[in-house]
Amino acid sequence: MNLKIENIKALFNKTFSVVPLEITPISAHGSQRQYYRLENKKENIVCIGAYNEDRKENIAFLDYANQLINKGISVPKIFSSDLDNNIYLLEDLGEETLFDVLQKNNNNSFLPKQVRDIYYKVIEELIKIQVIASKGFDYTNAYPRKAFDRQSIAWDLNYFKYYFIKLSNIPYNEQLLEDDFTRLTNYLLLEPRDYFLYRDFQSRNIMIVDNKPFFIDFQGGRQGALQYDLASLLFDAKANLSNSFRQELLNYYIETLEKYISFNKKDFINHFYAYVYIRIMQAMGSYGYRGYFQGKSHFLKSIPYALNNIKWLEENVELDIDITYLKSLFSSMIKENKFSEIEKEKLKVRISSFSFKRGYPYDATGNGGGFVFDCRAIENPGRYPQYAHLTGKDKEVIAFLDNEKEAKTFFENAYNLVLLNIEAYLKRDFSSLMVCFGCTGGRHRSVYFAEKLSRALIQRTDIEVILIHQEEK
């Protein structure tokens, strides 16, 4: 096992005086951080271990977590940390995010009362974070910046320009674009900016535990305007909230905020939509960076949703500033066929065979999900001299395993599990499913089952099957 996991195990032992009996990797979505669930069921102890090479970001997260907890905000408890080894242990909040709740319950834009009530709770907690928690908040360890100021806005706009516009090969006039950026920046800076700005307040960073929201990934927090985080929540691209529900939540936010502070509603709403624009642009820069630059194509699937939000803004919102060129650029993007075609990307089912001696296949998508089936309980053809030099693709090995009753039962069970996930992933608009078959040498049983599953799925038109044999010579 690698050094970082050994260090996390040691920190668990030091913290709880027992060793973790199970360690399971957890998907970090778009983050560079690595997460593991550590459990000792005998002692009823479970927590999350985090590894992150960015020491300053770790310091910001740990500091912010303790401050927010002390101010009554629902964030994960910190059990211990080892900054020299870039690791820390925190409370396990489960696996259900607000985005997951939406995916399970969204039926033709109709949301059940339970989900709507959760959003109302999120709005209430957001205001507590912004208004109550921000009082006396210490930004000494803020990273990378203490305030959402002119410099922060410039970073976001350049992120959009260089990682989305340029990588999408969209022609543009740089001077006209910069002129609109300047006008937008000056307008945004007119709003009061002395509240806690969470920075990435969206459905995947809100965990749901017993219908109560908890908040994660707040380490980028800084001082800023109230509207930014509200824009992040209501115009979260893949959450795809209906316009009527967005308006309902905006009204509820304003009604609730009035209980805490005095403000001009008209000015607030006008600036809110300006912040919606910059938040969407920042997100599009992220989609371009992750999708085009890092090659994680599933991030590109959020682009059509973001453009739909822009289209709604263009048709329903009139800003108090002139950003005519930027709007014309958005109009050309909305008409681009290449962006609408992104939505049609098929679910990729990656099927691999591998040897347990050499370790698990690498998950290039970073999703951390899927199946690993252990084929070693099936009779091994490789133990017989006449099959040793062959693989699971050869007819002799295929005939051998076809005659094994256990092999038939094994495949049927594996196939049904995979099929169940494929149907669920298609409904939830996921982009990738990883299925791995492992055996001792990675050349007979694992290859046989990987080939068989591939043949069973290859005829489907709604998925793309990718077959990889790790040990094929």
The per-residue pLDDT for range 146-197, each reduced to its tens digit, is 999 999 999 999 999 999 999 999 999 999 999 999 999 999 999 999 999 9
pLDDT surpasses 70 at 462 = yes
Q: How far apart are CA 44 and CA 48, in angstroms?
A: 14
> What's residue 108's pLDDT?
44
**What number is the average pLDDT over the span 212-216?**
98
Which secondary-structure segment (H or E) carries 81? strand 78-82
Q: C-alpha distances in angstroms, 117 versus 87, 111, 248?
A: 35, 10, 12
> What's residue 364's pLDDT?
60
Average pLDDT score, the chain: 92
> What's residue 297's pLDDT?
75
- The partner residues of 348 in beta bridges, in order of sequence, read 432, 464
Query: DSSP for 195-244?
Result: EEE-S--SGGGEEEETTEEEE---TT-EEE-HHHHHHHHHT-TTT---HH
> What's residue 307's pLDDT?
94
Of 13-22, 286-295, 404-413, the range with the lowest mean pLDDT is: 286-295
Q: Which domains are seen in the chain, by residue range?
A: 3-90 (3.30.200), 98-343 (3.90.1200.10), 346-469 (no CATH)
**What number is the average pLDDT over the span 384-397?**
93
Q: What is residue 45's three-state secondary structure? A: strand
| Rounded percentage of the chain residues whose pLDDT exceeds 90 | 79
Q: How far apart are CA 386 and CA 444, in angstroms?
A: 13
> What's residue 85's pLDDT?
97
**pLDDT 10s digits, 116-144:** 999 999 999 999 999 999 999 999 999 99
**pLDDT 10s digits, 236-292:** 998 989 999 999 999 999 999 999 999 999 999 999 999 999 999 999 999 999 888
Distance of CA 76 to the CA centre of its chain: 18
DSSP-assigned letter for residue 66: H
Q: How far apart are CA 192 and CA 146, in angstroms?
A: 15
> What's residue 346's pLDDT?
77
> What's residue 430's pLDDT?
80
Give the pLDDT band of residue 344 (cuts 50, 70, 90).
Answer: low
pTM of the predicted protein model = 0.75
CB atoms within 10 A of CB 90: 21
Give the pLDDT band of residue 345 (cuts 50, 70, 90).
Answer: low
**pLDDT 10s digits, 53-83:** 999 999 999 999 999 999 999 999 999 999 9
**What number is the average pLDDT over the span 430-451?**
93
Q: C-alpha distances in angstroms, 150 versus 40, 125, 155, 391?
A: 48, 27, 9, 62
Of 315-329, 334-348, 363-377, the range with the lowest mean pLDDT is: 334-348
**pLDDT 10s digits, 84-125:** 999 999 999 998 999 988 887 765 456 788 899 999 999 999
> What's residue 252's pLDDT?
98
Give the pLDDT band of residue 361 (cuts 50, 70, 90).
Answer: confident
